[in-house]
Amino acid sequence: MAALKYAGLEDTDSEEELPPGWEERTTKDGWVYYANHLEEKTQWEHPKSGKRKRVAGDLPYGWEQETDENGQVYFVDHINKRTTYLDPRLAFTVEDNPVKPTTRQKYDGNSTAMEILQGRDLSGKVVIITGANSGIGFETAKSLALHGACVILACRSPARGNEAVQRILGEWHKAKVEAMTLDLASLQSVQHFAEAFKSKNLPLHILICNAAVFGAPWSLTEDGLESTFQVNHLGHFYLVQLLEDVLRQSSPARVVVVSSESHRFTEIKDSSGKLDFSLLSPSKKEYWAMLAYNRSKLCNILFSNELNRRLSPHGVTSNSVHPGNMIYSSLHRNWWVYTLLFTLARPFTKSM
């Protein structure tokens, strides 16, 4: 009882009644969370019962959900001409009893990043996402941040990175997001990024290697390597090596490498069946943008598989992922032919 008194829980009789200083709120997707105004923190579990809840059904007739300038959800009663931050459906919540599914959860072409993480609390998790200022990287960063994670957007352009941070803060002003400069076309930049991150003394629970170039004309990086190979693969390879110790110390942790099904349409062996490393960073005469992209994606998968073999015994898993065919993003911006192709395919593909 002394512990209950200290926590301020002895003043209420009902298990569902909130202690003084607590408030019940809902997220945009209908999950109930609890705000402790005394300690200025939030949590998914009811402070007394420890239960999780979600609202049931649609809003009553005449009600509409809106979001204020601080990203806070509020409700408009058009019939009685009033607004409130209290969800009128809170009287009809249902208890969320997480049961281990008997079959694997399935998602389809209409699933969103927000739906994948629905109901999950990622508070305390630290995530790095490369190329997070646009496209798949941005949507992933936004969903992780809006579910409580501390997300670092590793971007080549500081201006675009900061703009992406502001867009996420526009959704929720308390989101923990930060942009840091990372140019994968420069191994020195990769090293500086890793050093800057380590200086923050943060753990690292998720590293998402997402940044990529596609259809780029032949060019060499400052390190003397073909740019598609270095940006899509070698830069990420080096980044993981530099952050491996932090990942191990933060276990359980994971690395996610965004690859592509196009890895199937290439080869990195010569006519005798031996690995031909000259194919990875070809000369201008032997360069074809599509093949360079496919080879970099094959390297992604080989790297991810070997990384998982080496680090999974230490609590760090690695997975490669195919994000979807012909997703309309800025990836195709380097050549008008690819832009035309992606534009024609857009009505039949998944959006950002």
34 is catalytic: no
For residue 254, what are the contacts with CB-CB under 8 A and spacing of at least 6? 205, 206, 207, 316, 317, 318, 319
* List 85, 293, 328, 338, catalytic entry: 293
24 DSSP β-pair partners? 34
Q: How many CB atoms lie within 10 A of CB 300?
A: 23
Instruction: Check: CB of residue 58 under 8 Å from CB of residue 47.
Output: no
DSSP 349: S
Q: How many residues does the chain have?
A: 352
- Give the span between the Cα atoms of 197 and 180, in whole angstroms: 9
Q: What is the DSSP string of 234-276?
A: IHHHHHHHHHHHHHHHT-SEEEEEE--GGGGS---B-TTSSB-
Which segments of 37-169 are extended strands (E)? 41-43, 52-55, 63-67, 73-77, 82-84, 93-96, 126-130, 150-155
- Give the span between the Cα atoms of 16 and 18, in whole angstroms: 6
Bridging pattern class, strands 126-130 and 93-96: unpaired
Instruction: Check: CB of residue 89 under 8 Å from CB of residue 63.
Output: no
**Which amino acid, residue 77?**
D
Backbone angles phi, psi at 108, to 5 degrees: -130, -170
203 DSSP β-pair partners? none
Q: Could you give the residue numbers annotated as active site?
A: 293
